[in-house]
Homo-oligomer: A and B are copies of this chain.
Amino acid sequence: MNNSTGPQSASQRGLPVVGEPRPERADARRNRLRVLEAADRLFTEHGVKHVSLDAIAAEAGVGKGTVFRRFGDRAGLAVALLDEREQELQAKILTGPPPLGPGAPPLTRVTAFLDAYLDLLDRHVELFMDSENASDGARYRIGSYHLWHRHLSHLIEAAHPTLDADYTAHALLAPLAADLHHALRTQGFPLDRLKSGLHAVAASLLPVSAADPTVDDGNE
């Protein structure tokens, strides 16, 4: 899944394509890459929330309109920057080896996903905050959110068919909100505590199957 805005996609990634309406124009591609590089650079240097889109446009040597047409808004730009990192996790989930990938029992896969996501989130909190909060309800419109949701939903359904898997998946993703993560980390919660806390929640929701290893209860 590719969350970047704009008519790019398979063709830009070297895949053979047939029905795609129109390939990305050369200048468009050049500018897209310039903007992403500039944003990456400035974000790293000054911290995500101290960089304005004007500054990014200037650094990239393009007009402001170009940035907005391409990425929609601040959230869209953050999403595009996170895309690559998230795709890695998405690939591991869909086709990688267990416990993230298919093959392991549900609770094990859920736990592995939560850990992997928390690691990713922790490494890029600021960017995640931008991507989730820059516009109202942005988090729930992003493609990757839907993918995480579908993944959890299937696992929950498999492990416990009488639960409302759809809702429960949302509830399990809710504590992964970038905002909350940032607040807790700032309050001094170590990452491991957040992990084991969430493990305990997941474990209590899903029955342990015979194949699941024993799961820590999340005590301190």
Contacts and interface: CB of A to CB of B under 8 A. Distances in A.
A49 B137 CA distance: 13
Interface of A: 49, 129, 133, 136-137, 139-141, 162-164, 167-168, 170-171, 174-175, 177, 179-180, 182-184, 189, 193-194, 196-198, 200-201, 204-205, 217-220
Contacts of A162: 217, 219
B201 A168 contact: yes
Given A174-B175, A180-B174, A168 B197 contact: yes
Contacts of A177: 174, 177
Given A168-B197, A197-B168, A140 B218 contact: no
A168 B183 CA distance: 15
B171 A175 contact: yes
B49 A136 contact: yes
B193 A201 contact: no
A198 to B, nearest CB: 7
B164 A200 contact: yes
B205 A164 contact: no
A170 B163 contact: no
Contacts of A164: 193, 196-197, 200, 218-220
A140 B185 CA distance: 12
